[in-house]
Structures are given as C-alpha cells and as structure tokens.
Structure 1
Amino acid sequence: MSTGVASTQFPRVRRLLDGWKNGLDRIGNQAQFYFRTVGSIADAFLHYKGETLRLIAQMSLGTGALAIVGGTIVIVGFLTMSTGALVAVQGYNQFADIGVEALTGFASAYFNVRLIAPLTAGIGLASTIGAGATAQLGAMRISEEIDALEVMGIRSVAYLASSRVLAGVIVVIPLYCVAIIMSFLAARFGTTFVYGQSTGVYDHYFNTFLNPTDVVWSFFLAIAMATVIMLVHTYYGYTASGGPAGVGEAVGRAVRTSLISAAFVVVFISLAIYGQSGNFHLAG
C-alpha cells in the first residue's frame, strides 16, 4: 500500500529509481556476458578453429567485394597515414615558429607511438571489424539462428562471441604493424619531401627519441583496445532485438560505446605507463 501511494505521490522519483535499477541490470548483464565470453576463448580456440580462421581472414583482408580494397588493413593504413601526415604538417609549422623545426622527427617518434596511432587504429577497428561483428550477430539473433545453434548443442557464446574476440586480438597485431609503419612513413615523407627538411636531420631526431619500450607498450595498448572493442560489439550484436531496425540501433550503440571505451582504455593505460615518470629523456 505504501509503495503504491509513494509511486502515485512521487512519480518522478519512481521513474528515476526505475531508471537506475534498469541501468544497473544492464551493467550486470554486460559484465556477465563479458566474463562468459572471455572464459570461453579456450573453447573457441580448441573446438572452433575453422570458424576462428575464417573470421581472421574476413577481418583482415576482407571477403567478397571487400577483398578488392584489402579490408580493414587498407582502411586503418589510410587512417594512420593521414594522421601521420598531420603530424608532419602541424609539427613542422609549430616548431618552425620557434626555430626548432628539426624536432619534427621527435614529434613523430613521440606522439605517433604513444597516442595518435593507437587511437586511430582503435577508431578503425570499431568502425570496421566491430560494426561488422555487431551487424552479423544481430542478423543471426533476429532470424533465430543463434537459437538454432543452441538447439543443435553448439555453445553459441564460444562459437560466435569468443571466436570473434580471439580473431580480433590476433588480427590487431599485424594490423597495428601496418598502422604504425604508415604513420611513420607519412610523417617522414611530409617533413622531408614536402617541407624539404634533410633526411639526415629528421632520422637523427627520430631515432634518438624513438624508445623501443614505448613501441612495445603501444602494441599492448592496441591489443587491450581490440579486446574491449570486440567484447562491446559482440554483446550488442548477441543481444540485439526488434528486427532490422533493432540491429541498426544495436550497431549505433555498439560503435558509440566502443569508441568511448577505447578512449578510456587509452587514458588509463597511458596514465599507468607514463603517468609517474613519463619515460621521457631529453637527449640529442
């Protein structure tokens, strides 16, 4: 009686409490799905090797018409190439204003590795591999294919979600190699060929400030982002509902959530790695 009276007298409070409760329920369901997916990666590796290999080929080079343009590798390569060129343009002009344009090589070695290349690769992963995974799983969910797999005795989470997370982590390693190489080449080409800086000067400052440890941490950051992005996208695709319109809405929500999650991953891991000392030594 008191609950009914309270809901009648204070409808806004009731709606606010119901919104918080629903939000906590969604967070709990997502956490449960993520733990199940991570825990089933071993099953996906042992029992669903063929599906995992197919997903690796599809995510990296693309299948069908996408194979013509190289799939995700070409997309991420062009994205990081454009950001590397921006490092050359902005770095050279800003440093030239104070007479130290020779330090453009330092900007490429420092900012590309620590921030620009990982974030750009994360955006490319979310908009290509991640969105595709959400759309595929969502289409399977609304057409009841996932229910059919479970009726056949196939572990749907391991077969569909864990295999995609595993494939995404495997694909991101060579993918990030292409990304970071393209960012380095674009910055070097823009600085030496467009602005006419000596290649010897550029290479000297680039090699002086390029820390191999930072490159290793950059790969670790890319792998962590790929794991988070694939977990988010597989969840929204696996739980999609509402027909084709619901799948489209799930893709939009997944991209938005994965981009925000990738930004948080970059911030917290960068703070954990570079927050105390920065691992930066001015030399040369």
Structure 2
Amino acid sequence: MIAKVTLQQRYPRLSARAAGARTWVQAIGEQTRFYGATLSSLVFACGRYRGELLRQVAAMSLGTGALAVIGGTVAVVAFLTMSTGGLIAAQGYNQFSQVGVEALTGFGSAFLNPRVITPDTAAIALAATVGAGATAQLGAMRINEEIDALEVMGIRAIAYLASTRVAAGVIVVIPLYCVALVLAFLAARFGTTAFYGQSTGVYDHYFNTFLIPGDVLRSFVVTIAVAAVVMLIHTYYGFNAHGGPAGVGEAVGRATRTSLVSSAFTILLVTMALYGQTGNFDFAG
C-alpha cells in the first residue's frame, strides 16, 4: 500500500516559508486591531480615566522615582537637542567655511532644525525614555496578571492602559518639542558665535531671513504624528509581552527597534506630505 506524501513533506522549505509569511501576516493583523482599538478608545479614556491620564502626563514629563532627580524626559530632550544644535554649529560652520560662505551657518540652523534634526531627536528621546518605560510597565503588568485582573473587574484594559498613555504622549510632546526647538536654536547660535567667533549680527541676519514660521508649525505636526506612532508601538509590545522578565526585556528591545524605524518612515512620509517634492524653499536674500 502506497503512503500518501503531503505537500509539507514534499516541499519542506516552501512550507516553512509559507508558515513564516502566514505568521507575519497574522502579527500585522493583530497589531492593526490593537492600534484601531486604542485610537477608537481615546475619547472614552480621556473622559472616564482622567486621573490615570493626568498621572501619565506627570510621569512622562517630569519622571518618577530616580528619573525625577534629573528632570525626567524634559532633561533628556534638552541635553539631546543641545548636542544636535552644537553639532550644527561645528559641522555647519566648518563645511560652509570650506566654500567661503560660513556666514550661512544661521541658515543651516533655521532650515535643518525644524525640518529634520529636532523631530528626529524628539523621536529618539521619546522612544528611549517614555516609550521604553511604557513597554516595561505594561509588560510587568502582563506577566503579573494585573491586566487580566483589570479586565475581570470590568475595566477596559486597552482604554485604561494603552489609550491613556498614547494621549499622554501626544500631550507631553508639545511642550517638550517647544523646549527642544528653542534649545537647538540657542545651542547652534551659541556655538557659532562663542566658539567660532562669528558676529551675532551676521548669524541673526541669516537665521531670521531663512527661518520660515510655517516650518516651525509644520514641524509640530510631524512631531505629534511621530509621538502617536511611538506610543502605539510601545504600548502594543508591552500589552502583549510574555515569557516572564526576560520576555519583558525582549519586548522593550523589539518595541524600541520598531518605533525608531517606524518614526523615520513617519517623518519621511509626513514631511513629504507637508512640503511636497520641492520643499517650498527659495534660497534668496
């Protein structure tokens, strides 16, 4: 009697690839479902869980415990943006001086900070501090069965844990980005005028000439979109963590990696949608 040979036995490599693709599609579907449930519960969470929302805003901005000693996310964003602003002063002045136009360092700060550098810096700071913290918190609650306890008590876990954190992240990022942008501008100006000896009048002239107020407002739109994406990704990985403490650490690493890559694509797409192909830039004056 001849035994029947299944497709999996005949084509093992093809079957393994198909199973991997099916698992990947299922994971994408689960993430999409979670993101939809989180976004649709934002209004409910802001209305019913205002106390938790305010607590998350305070924890994300000033920090809790040991993080509060250095000022929480505010201090982290401040140090990062001051570093990038100083980098613009150092690299911009040196690069422009090679072609004899070092006076345009103010233009580099006015053009690059709101369009590219500061939104990227804010995304990295959010993913490394607020996002990673949210993943660790939710992951610890998941492995300790606290999320299951909330659902048993009749509390909408996604709205209470995920939606409040996403809303808090979007709320916190607005004043944080104001601090980041101001410090980036000041650091670039201080580095150019104090360390490289450029006249403050020359720097301010080119900075004020090429700084477009609309770019500053559009950069807020980019940063808010990035904050929403980062918080959605981190809450998903924390909410669905498994495997004990090691699984929580793995979830934090995966969430950080995914959020950094996704934030780069978000900045690219939103920037192209806002500025178009030309960038709405006229080099004159």
TMscore range, shorter length: over 0.9
Q: Distance in 1 between matches of 2:22 and 2:75?
A: 43
Q: How does 1:259-274 map to 2 (within 5 A)?
A: 259-274=260-275
The superposition leaves residues 56-102 of structure 1 with CA deviations (integer Å, 9 ceiling, x where unpaired) of 00000111221110000100110011011000000000111111100
Q: Tell me if 1:228 matches 2:252.
A: no
2:241 aligned partner: 240
Query: Quick one: which amino acid aligns to residue 42 of structure 2?
Result: I
Task: Give the percent of matched residue pairs that are identical in Structure 1 and Structure 2.
Answer: 64
Q: Distance in 2 between matches of 1:107 and 1:240?
A: 43
Q: Distance in 1 between matches of 2:244 and 2:7?
A: 37
1:49 aligned partner: 50
Query: Quick one: which amino acid aligns to residue 73 of structure 2?
Result: T
Q: How does 1:99-248 map to 2 (within 5 A)?
A: 99-248=100-249
1:249 aligned partner: 250
SS at match of 1:230: helix
1:74 aligned partner: 75
1:90 aligned partner: 91
Root mean square deviation, CA, Å: 1.3
Q: Distance in 2 between matches of 1:244 and 1:67?
A: 24
2:63 aligned partner: 62
- Give the C-alpha shift of residue 188 in structure 1: 0.2
Q: Distance in 2 between matches of 1:194 and 1:252?
A: 39
Query: Quick one: which amino acid aligns to residue 187 of structure 2?
Result: A
- Give the C-alpha shift of residue 3 in structure 1: 9.3
- Give the C-alpha shift of residue 276 in structure 1: 2.6
The superposition leaves residues 35-56 of structure 1 with CA deviations (integer Å, 9 ceiling, x where unpaired) of 0000000111000000000000
- Give the C-alpha shift of residue 179 in structure 1: 0.7
The superposition leaves residues 217-263 of structure 1 with CA deviations (integer Å, 9 ceiling, x where unpaired) of 10000000000000000000000000000000000000000000000
The superposition leaves residues 178-208 of structure 1 with CA deviations (integer Å, 9 ceiling, x where unpaired) of 1111110110000000001000000000000
SS at match of 2:108: helix
Count of residue pairs brought into register by the alignment: 284
Alignment gaps of 5+ in structure 1: none
Query: Quick one: which amino acid aligns to residue 85 of structure 1?
Result: G
1:30 aligned partner: 31
- Give the C-alpha shift of residue 283 in structure 1: 2.2
Q: Distance in 2 between matches of 1:112 and 1:30?
A: 32
Runs of 4+ in 1 over 4 A off after TM superposition: none
The superposition leaves residues 120-172 of structure 1 with CA deviations (integer Å, 9 ceiling, x where unpaired) of 11000000000000000000000000000000000000000000000000000
Q: Distance in 1 between matches of 2:244 and 2:5?
A: 35
Q: Distance in 2 between matches of 1:225 and 1:273?
A: 14
Alignment gaps of 5+ in structure 2: none
SS at match of 1:32: helix
Judged with a 3 Å threshold, the aligned counterparts in structure 2 of structure 1 residues 4 and 242 are, in CA distance, closer, same or farther, namely: farther
Judged with a 3 Å threshold, the aligned counterparts in structure 2 of structure 1 residues 233 and 4 are, in CA distance, closer, same or farther, namely: farther
Query: Quick one: which amino acid aligns to residue 188 of structure 1?
Result: R
Query: Quick one: which amino acid aligns to residue 6 of structure 2?
Result: V
Query: Quick one: which amino acid aligns to residue 143 of structure 2?
Result: I
Judged with a 3 Å threshold, the aligned counterparts in structure 2 of structure 1 residues 213 and 4 are, in CA distance, closer, same or farther, namely: farther
- Give the C-alpha shift of residue 275 in structure 1: 2.9
Q: Distance in 2 between matches of 1:197 and 1:40?
A: 53
- Give the C-alpha shift of residue 6 in structure 1: 0.9
- Give the C-alpha shift of residue 7 in structure 1: 0.5
Q: Distance in 2 between matches of 1:66 and 1:257?
A: 24
Q: Distance in 1 between matches of 2:113 and 2:201?
A: 20
Q: Distance in 2 between matches of 1:260 and 1:101?
A: 34
Q: Distance in 1 between matches of 2:14 and 2:4?
A: 12
